[in-house]
């Protein structure tokens, strides 16, 4: 088939990474970029030899598919406009700022029979892919995603900015309805929640303790799964998996041994974009469809609601 004509909407930090990956694929033609910052759009257009504009509507009619990497508050409007125009969409996480917005986008994509993929890049992390080979039924999960502070992303709270990655992975592997949520969070450097901790209890009996912060000095991106038969720790940033299991030794004695699981290295974002384009070409359901993204969105909404219930009165918080 002819080359897939793509556009990238929002060419800041993430949008530029999308452009880099598209440029390296021979079956893709980058038609144009759009950004509200004219200088940024023109710079990207010059680098990638494509059109640039400040109004993304200018690309409708000339693209088959788009990556959308605008601030979360704009996800709904931009994705809705492209889906309504019959364009396949890869939308950076989270799917939207609210559950009703996310539901509307999914309904539109389904009615128009379009490819709608959400950018949960950790699904494509080599260590997470390897984890699928060894993880049995988890009983306890502990996740930490800690980042230094950047203004980028603070249009939403740390739950939608960072924690949602771990919520998506936990929900995928636990694969059971969420029964109960307890959560606390505080604002530190922005007017949004910057540090949050949530305790999730599932109907399967699994419990997950999830912490996210964007006010730490060092970056940490780790998740650990504990089950009856083993312990599995993923370092997302290093793309490493440490997997241990119980093995009979002699009599009733058990040994803890390392599982010989292979982690096959690749670039997660490149694999995410390849998967999207494959769905566009073959008209197959994306690896992480908009529907797949809903459980994490709904869990995030429950966490945000619980934090709101537990918020300190302003007089005390400012004391």
Domain count along the chain:
2
Please tell me whether residues 131 and 110 are part of one structural domain. no
235 found inside a domain: yes
CATH number at residue 159: 3.30.360.10
As a whole number, mean pLDDT of residues 161-189 equals: 97
Report how far residue 54's alpha carbon sits from residue 57's, in angstroms, rounded to the nearest whole number: 9
Please tell me whether residues 162 and 115 are part of one structural domain. no
Please tell me whether residues 150 and 249 are part of one structural domain. yes
**pLDDT (tens digit, 9 = 90+) per residue, 210-250?**
999 999 989 999 999 999 889 999 999 999 999 999 876 66
- According to the model, what pLDDT value does residue 2 have? 87
**pLDDT (tens digit, 9 = 90+) per residue, 45-67?**
999 999 999 999 999 999 999 99
Report how far residue 7's alpha carbon sits from residue 219's, in angstroms, rounded to the nearest whole number: 31
319 found inside a domain: no
**Per-residue pLDDT at 261 exceeds 80:** yes
241 found inside a domain: yes
38 found inside a domain: yes
Among residues 79, 122, 124, which one has the least CA distance to residue 97?
Answer: 79
229 found inside a domain: yes
pTM for the whole thing?
Answer: 0.94
As a whole number, mean pLDDT of residues 173-194 equals: 95
Which domain, by its residues, includes 308? 123-268+299-314
Please tell me whether residues 66 and 144 are part of one structural domain. no
Q: What percent of the chain has pLDDT over 90?
A: 87
As a whole number, mean pLDDT of residues 8-21 equals: 97
Please tell me whether residues 139 and 254 are part of one structural domain. yes
- According to the model, what pLDDT value does residue 247 have? 77
């Amino acid at each position: 088939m002819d080359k897939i004509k793509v556009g990238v909407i929002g060419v800041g930090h993430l949008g530029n990474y999308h452009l880099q990956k598209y440029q390296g694929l021979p079956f893709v033609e980058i038609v144009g970029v759009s950004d509200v910052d004219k200088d940024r759009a023109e710079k990207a257009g010059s680098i990638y030899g494509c059109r640039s504009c400040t109004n993304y509507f200018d690309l409708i009619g000339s693209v088959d598919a788009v990556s959308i990497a605008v601030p979360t508050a704009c996800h709904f409007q931009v994705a809705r406009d492209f889906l309504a125009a019959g364009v396949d969409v890869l939308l950076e996480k989270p799917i939207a700022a609210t559950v009703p917005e996310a539901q509307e986008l999914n309904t539109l994509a389904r009615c128009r029979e379009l490819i709608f993929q959400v950018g949960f890049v950790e699904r494509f992390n080599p260590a997470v892919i390897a984890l699928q080979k060894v993880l049995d039924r988890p009983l306890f999960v502990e996740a930490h995603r800690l980042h230094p502070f950047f203004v980028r992303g603070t249009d939403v709270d740390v739950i939608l900015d960072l924690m949602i990655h771990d919520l998506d992975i936990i929900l995928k592997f636990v694969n059971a309805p969420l029964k109960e949520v307890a959560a606390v969070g505080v604002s530190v450097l922005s007017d949004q929640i910057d540090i949050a901790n949530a305790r999730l209890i599932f109907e399967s009996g699994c419990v997950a303790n999830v912490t996210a912060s964007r006010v730490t000095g060092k970056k940490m991106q780790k998740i650990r799964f504990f089950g009856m038969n083993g312990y599995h720790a993923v370092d997302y940033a290093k793309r490493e998996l440490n997997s241990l299991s119980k093995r009979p030794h002699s009599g009733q004695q058990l040994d803890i041994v390392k599982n010989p699981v292979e982690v096959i290295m690749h670039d997660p974002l490149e694999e995410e974009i390849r998967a999207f384009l494959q769905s566009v070409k073959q008209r197959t359901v994306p690896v992480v469809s908009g529907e797949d993204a809903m459980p994490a969105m709904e869990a995030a909404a429950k966490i945000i609601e619980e934090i709101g219930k537990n918020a300190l009165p302003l007089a005390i918080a400012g004391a």
